[in-house]
Structure 1
């Protein structure tokens, strides 16, 4: 019994000794391994968050989900032989997974179809205000309703005017005077003719029609009332007088509009103005008129921008022989415009906009992408004009560029982080050489 007890104690002691010696060997080996890095081992510059590349750490770390930060090595920030910051190199397999597609910069003539709204308006060249050229009282109104069609020369109303009656009497007296001196001297006849011409001219200046003056000449009888005629063909849009009312040359008697030609005032936003030119063909569709689309041309572009709508009106002239188009109608206007000559273009989807500037990614060689700032012009049909930054035939990324841009921005930021360190090392080296040279000079 005692022998067994002694044997157990000896075996247990030998086990403890072996464990202690093995543990010491393990720690010594581990320490040697940890303190003796392999020759040529890569050293990371920093570590970045796997879910948010903008978050970095100078030492290994874990994110909120327990995932290890990804080490970033110097070669990860290299863009090949290019010196352009932000250049990205991607292997073919990764490119395929990212869905990267490219398209060549080309020369094309941009064209654009703009659809907007418009309002039918009266042609101002066909709008007439009827006035009398004398004072008087309205005796009789012949055209009494708005909407009536009148012809040029048609009598609208009759007016009594004492000064017109006086002028008529002077004209008749001049006629009789000329007849009385027909057998007199040439000088007397000449004076009589001059007086007649002056009195007739006065009636013409008052706006009396020729037929009325001729009637006075034949009858030699003054007329109590005189006619006021329509100055042009058109529709009476307003009547401003009533019987027995007193009128002056300032009084607007009638408003007449010739609607056989109308205007459509189409509204265009400021960014659409480069496409709108005088002479552009326009197709106009008007609700309530089942006659298809009307065709016209832009006649004038107004120089003022509406402060509320931020739009500019363009005037389109339409023929309206049957008077079916009425002022105030709503119209849908479609204008097709083309740019002058061919321009350098790329797809709009290739452009990355930061708010301050626009840039694209150019494929310099297979798998190598360089960021390039560009200056853009007109846009139309998913294409955009390139004014500066690209050349014909270069290839730009049109799909997957957002992932490339994220990687490019990260690399560019990392390079900027490295610049202070590099400058500091260069400064230390320069100081070291300076102190060394100074010590050497002191020794000498």
Structure 2
């Protein structure tokens, strides 16, 4: 009996480790499953992390799953993805960088290209050939037709003077009267052809059609058909836009002098900076402010820009030589710092924290974080930023900081 009891105890002792290991494996399964639980984040706000699908409480976007155990700090894209995202790179090197100070400006109509059309004779506007503003006018184009009783009287006076000269050709007094009458008609914008036609027809014509003295755009109409106007009364105003003023406000301490060359960036045409010479600086401060005003002119081919459009004036202030520079769009800034993307190998990109220095409208100095010869992403960097958050569920800047440390 005791022998059987002894054998049973030995069997129990030998089976105990196997039972314990099996129990450990059973209890380990839920833990492993819990570790494999999906994690979700917002592509725009990586600080939002949860273990179930939903929407971002900040922007409302759908949360996307990501692998939080993925410790790789780089992104790998194939050729089609690189082409679709328009990702291009450049090898950074040392060069020169000019600094600029930006002034807010605006485009304005050049008064030298503005013409006020006024009536040369008093009378009634019989026909107005341009009846709305914004219409382009060519030089010599008919603008309006006017009926003038005063012009008819002057024509009759001239016909009488011509008849007297013909009857008394040797009378100097009549010749002087004819010359004076002709001069009056010329002052009323009667051409030599009009006067010759009057003499040949011997008929008074009180209607005069006035052409445009120059081309431009009708900016203002001051009369309507049937309206009486006085001599010198405004009919319309034409503005030429093929050359525009550029005006900007500046403080007296800002060093700008007439004759200085500056750059002008028109809103929407940032890739086509214009060179402008400062022609005038108002010596008096503007009313109610401590600002002065500078002015220059730029050409406006094909009337691509309009008066009132915003423009920025870039004043050169300093320059640096032998510095590392990148295009402004290659540098990504957020509340946590500044970083760029570098291509480590074909199709493999990773973030890199950088420090910046002097900057102008299209380039920025890199003072730390990069070396000459690094291959840096210059277009598509923001798409890499979004793709990193989408796949990794983390801020690239935080990942870059951890990687560099």
TM-score (norm 2): 0.51
Q: Is 1:164 the counterpart of 2:144 in the alignment?
A: no
Say which structure is richer in helix: 1
Q: Is 1:140 the counterpart of 2:122 in the alignment?
A: no
RMSD: 2.5
Write out per-residue CA displacement over residues 365-422 of structure 1, whole angstroms, 9 at most, x where no aligned residue. xxxxxxxxxxxxxxxx9xxxxxxxxxxxxxxxxxxxxxxxxxxxxxxxxxxxxxxxxx
- Residue 281 of structure 2 is matched in structure 1 by 301
Displacement after TM superposition at 1:335 (Å): 2.2
Measure the CA separation in 2 of the matches of 1:214 and 1:323. Answer: 40
Q: Is 1:227 the counterpart of 2:209 in the alignment?
A: yes
Indicate how the Cα distance of structure 1 residues 337 and 298 shifts in structure 2: closer, same or farther if over 3 A, else same: farther
Say which structure is richer in strand: 2
Q: Is 1:152 the counterpart of 2:139 in the alignment?
A: yes
Q: Is the 8 A contact 1:114 1:334 kept in 2?
A: yes
- Residue 20 of structure 2 is matched in structure 1 by none
Displacement after TM superposition at 1:208 (Å): 3.2
Displacement after TM superposition at 1:180 (Å): 2.6
Displacement after TM superposition at 1:199 (Å): 0.6
Q: Is 1:248 the counterpart of 2:230 in the alignment?
A: yes
**1:210-359 counterparts in 2 under 5 A?**
210-272=192-254, 275-289=255-269, 292-336=272-316
Write out per-residue CA displacement over residues 192-244 of structure 1, whole angstroms, 9 at most, x where no aligned residue. 32121101111122233444334323333211211233232211111111110
Measure the CA separation in 2 of the matches of 1:250 and 1:240. Answer: 12
Indicate how the Cα distance of structure 1 residues 292 and 227 shifts in structure 2: closer, same or farther if over 3 A, else same: same
- Residue 116 of structure 1 is matched in structure 2 by 103
Indicate how the Cα distance of structure 1 residues 150 and 252 shifts in structure 2: closer, same or farther if over 3 A, else same: same
Displacement after TM superposition at 1:291 (Å): 5.8
- Residue 190 of structure 2 is matched in structure 1 by 208
Displacement after TM superposition at 1:331 (Å): 0.4
**Unaligned 5+ residue runs, structure 2?**
1-97, 319-357, 359-405
Indicate how the Cα distance of structure 1 residues 276 and 232 shifts in structure 2: closer, same or farther if over 3 A, else same: same
Displacement after TM superposition at 1:250 (Å): 5.0
Indicate how the Cα distance of structure 1 residues 193 and 317 shifts in structure 2: closer, same or farther if over 3 A, else same: same
Indicate how the Cα distance of structure 1 residues 210 and 262 shifts in structure 2: closer, same or farther if over 3 A, else same: farther
**Unaligned 5+ residue runs, structure 1?**
1-110, 339-380, 382-444
Indicate how the Cα distance of structure 1 residues 249 and 335 shifts in structure 2: closer, same or farther if over 3 A, else same: farther
**1:65-80 counterparts in 2 under 5 A?**
none
Measure the CA separation in 2 of the matches of 1:220 and 1:323. Answer: 47
TM-score (norm 1): 0.47
Measure the CA separation in 2 of the matches of 1:255 and 1:173. Answer: 37
Q: Is the 8 A contact 1:156 1:227 kept in 2?
A: yes
* 1:199 counterpart SS class: helix
Q: Is the 8 A contact 1:130 1:253 kept in 2?
A: yes
Equivalent residue pairs, number: 224
Measure the CA separation in 2 of the matches of 1:136 and 1:246. Answer: 6
Measure the CA separation in 2 of the matches of 1:214 and 1:235. Answer: 33
Indicate how the Cα distance of structure 1 residues 196 and 144 shifts in structure 2: closer, same or farther if over 3 A, else same: same
Greater relative CO (CA pairs within 8 A, separation 6+): 2
